[in-house]
């Protein structure tokens, strides 16, 4: 059964094809299609051999585009043919009985014909508009759905597919999605591939997705690693954890903090990742600069998808990061951040000014992206007006409005929100949808928050999860 993330190579104008493909395979590519017609045969043969070896190292399938003779020479796993290429029967005679043949199609009739000719899979597209094709070549999701009903072989959706589009294609019935520029043109192919590859987790049974939280302990149980594990577990994923600090705190505030030695933090981190692994990582309180830098290095080396909650100030006003940690967060961790989730005071700490309007939030978010964060969610709970969050999703700006609840029992909101986002990403939701679901979840948790202790009580993880999971079939 052919399934998983399918990568098609670009024209290698920058000469970095092997490096980009290696990174993308690390990020989760399962099928690689080598497309190269306009280079010398000897160079093409050498590159194909090197790519085939990379695929073997990562247990990925290697497919050659259009050239069954080359596929046979390098012992590729198969060949992909277009409508104007040689018949599948002829290609089968060249590559052998046990190899894969894929055929591009644009409608139900072509897909049925490809299946009848012996295609092992059918590529259908262009699903969305692409920069290289005009409007007439777009077949859309409706055609994908029709083809899915008509043929029994696996389907690969191709053409203009963003992560959000890939999610739609998979929901419509595709077994795989083929990406070119979405990975090959990205400055970080490994992380781009990881973002796409996580989408295939949607079909897995619960607990669905593995989420690693790297954070401090809240002895009061409302925030920190305790809130993260509650959130991840109640929403249906598997939680692992790395403790960075112990705090003596309750609803009235933090009375003392005991940092965990950096070497032991890293021992925890490496031990978990070497065995269990993680689909996503959520960071919270990182205590001091040495921990921040070494955690950032691990995220970089292992191409992890990190949701970073820059825990800088406690609810009672106590500083939770020293200056060295602040500097390391900006210089080392932000460039490795998939999603940064600061509140307005944290934005002020990171950028030097605290936004007071939505326009200023956008300006600050762009600055944080310039510092390295791939995407930014600025939480607007401290605004004097509506509780509006802004998601800067690459170049796109998404406004997320929510109801403001009159309660001072909001301990753990930031930890819970970021943990929920990391959970939904690990479960196979694209970022915008993961953030929307997480915002709804935290809204329920705030609405049902309860008083315990004498200060700021916690949000209600259990009540929110029970209602959210009850509503989930309708939401999906």
Kindly state the percentage of the chain with pLDDT values over 90. Answer: 63
In this predicted structure, what is the pLDDT of residue 313?
57
Assess whether pLDDT exceeds 80 at residue 1.
no
Rounded-to-integer distance, Cα 106 and Cα 439, Å? 39
Task: At 463, list the tokens.
Answer: 């009540």
Top-confidence range, 34-48, 220-234, 452-466: 220-234
Computed on alpha carbons and rounded to an integer, the radius of gyration of the chain in Å comes to 24
In this predicted structure, what is the pLDDT of residue 442?
92
Rounded-to-integer distance, Cα 83 and Cα 97, Å? 21
Give 346's Cβ-side CA count (13 Å radius). Answer: 28
| Annotated catalytic residue 159 | no
Catalytic site residue from 160, 412, 428, 457: 412
Q: Average pLDDT, stretch 314-321?
A: 53
Catalytic site residue from 315, 379, 416, 423: 379
Rounded-to-integer distance, Cα 444 and Cα 438, Å? 10
Assess whether pLDDT exceeds 70 at residue 318.
no
Q: Flag the least confident range among 18-22, 256-260, 312-316.
A: 312-316
Assess whether pLDDT exceeds 60 at residue 334.
yes
Residue 66: which region, alpha, beta or left (left: phi > 0; alpha: psi -120 to 50)?
A: left
Burial letters 229-266, b for 16+ CB under 10 A, else e: bbbbbbbbbbbbbbbbbbbebbbebbeebebbebeebb
Rounded-to-integer distance, Cα 91 and Cα 346, Å? 60
Assess whether pLDDT exceeds 90 at residue 375.
yes
In this predicted structure, what is the pLDDT of residue 390?
93
- Its pTM surpasses 0.75: yes
Task: At 332, list the tokens.
Answer: 């080392």
Catalytic site residue from 410, 428, 439, 457: 410
Q: Flag the least confident range among 49-53, 95-99, 335-339.
A: 95-99
| Annotated catalytic residue 4 | no
Over residues 263-311, the pLDDT tens digits come to 999 999 999 999 999 999 999 988 777 899 999 999 999 999 999 999 7
In this predicted structure, what is the pLDDT of residue 174?
95
Antiparallel, parallel or unpaired: β 306-308 and 339-340: parallel
In this predicted structure, what is the pLDDT of residue 117?
92
| Number of C-beta neighbours around residue 277 at 10 A | 12
Assess whether pLDDT exceeds 60 at residue 135.
no
User: What residue ranges define each of the domains in the chain, with the CATH number in brackets?
Assistant: 4-203 (3.20.20.70), 210-475 (3.40.1190.20)
- Closest to 299 in 3D by CA, of 325, 327, 328, 269: 269
| Annotated catalytic residue 413 | yes
Catalytic site residue from 125, 284, 414, 457: 414
- Closest to 442 in 3D by CA, of 419, 411, 422, 416: 416
| Number of C-beta neighbours around residue 331 at 10 A | 15
| Cα-based torsion angle of the residue sequence 355, 360, 361, 367 in order, rounded to the nearest 10 degrees | -100
| Annotated catalytic residue 244 | no
* Band (380; pLDDT cuts 50, 70, 90): confident
- Closest to 451 in 3D by CA, of 413, 412, 407, 391: 407
Residue found under tokens 């921040």: 292
Over residues 45-84, the pLDDT tens digits come to 999 999 999 999 999 999 999 999 999 999 999 999 998 8
Q: Average pLDDT, stretch 357-376?
A: 93
In this predicted structure, what is the pLDDT of residue 385?
65
* Band (449; pLDDT cuts 50, 70, 90): confident
| Annotated catalytic residue 412 | yes
Rounded-to-integer distance, Cα 16 and Cα 150, Å? 40
| Annotated catalytic residue 236 | no
Catalytic site residue from 9, 337, 341, 413: 413
In this predicted structure, what is the pLDDT of residue 4?
93
């Amino acid at each position: 059964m052919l399934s998983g993330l399918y990568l098609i190579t670009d024209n290698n104008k920058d000469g970095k094809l092997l490096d980009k493909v290696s990174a993308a395979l690390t990020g989760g590519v399962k099928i690689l299609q080598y497309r190269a017609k306009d280079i010398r045969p000897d160079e093409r043969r050498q590159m194909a051999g090197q790519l085939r070896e990379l695929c073997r190292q990562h247990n990925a399938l290697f497919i050659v585009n259009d050239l069954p003779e080359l596929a046979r020479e390098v012992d590729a796993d198969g060949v992909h043919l277009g409508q104007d290429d040689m018949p599948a029967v002829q290609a089968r005679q060249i590559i052998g009985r046990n190899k894969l043949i894929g055929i591009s199609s644009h409608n139900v009739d072509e897909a049925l014909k490809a299946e009848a000719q012996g295609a092992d899979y059918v590529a259908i597209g262009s699903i969305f508009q692409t920069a290289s094709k005009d409007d007439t070549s777009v077949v859309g999701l409706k055609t994908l759905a029709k083809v899915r009903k008509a043929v029994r072989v696996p389907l690969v959706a191709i053409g203009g597919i963003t992560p959000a589009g890939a999610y739609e294609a998979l929901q419509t019935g595709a077994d795989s999605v083929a990406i070119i520029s979405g990975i090959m043109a990205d400055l970080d192919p490994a992380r781009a591939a990881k973002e796409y590859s996580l989408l295939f987790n949607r079909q897995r049974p619960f607990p669905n997705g593995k989420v690693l939280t790297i954070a401090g302990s809240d002895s009061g149980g409302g925030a920190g690693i305790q809130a993260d594990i509650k959130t991840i577990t109640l929403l249906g994923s598997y939680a692992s954890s790395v403790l960075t600090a112990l705090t003596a705190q309750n609803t009235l505030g933090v009375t003392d903090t005991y940092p965990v030695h950096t070497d032991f933090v890293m021992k925890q981190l490496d031990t978990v990742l070497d065995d269990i692994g993680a689909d996503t990582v959520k960071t919270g309180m990182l205590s001091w600069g040495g921990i921040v830098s070494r955690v950032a290095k691990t995220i970089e080396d292992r191409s992890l998808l990190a949701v970073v909650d820059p825990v800088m100030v406690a609810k009672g006003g106590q500083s939770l990061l020293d200056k060295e940690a602040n500097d390391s967060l900006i210089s080392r961790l932000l460039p490795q951040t998939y999603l940064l989730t600061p509140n307005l005071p944290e934005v002020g700490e990171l950028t030097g000014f605290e936004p007071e309007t939505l326009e200023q939030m956008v300006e600050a978010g762009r600055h944080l992206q310039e510092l390295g964060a791939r995407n930014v969610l600025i939480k607007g709970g401290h605004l004097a007006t509506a509780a509006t969050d802004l998601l800067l999703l690459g170049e796109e700006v998404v406004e997320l409005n929510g109801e403001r609840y009159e309660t001072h029992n909001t301990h753990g909101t930031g930890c819970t929100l970021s943990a929920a986002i990391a959970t939904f990403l690990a479960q196979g939701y694209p970022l915008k949808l993961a953030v929307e679901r997480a915002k709804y979840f935290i809204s329920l948790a705030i609405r049902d928050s309860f008083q315990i202790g004498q200060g700021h009580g916690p949000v209600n993880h259990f009540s929110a999860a029970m209602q959210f999971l009850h509503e989930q079939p309708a939401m999906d």
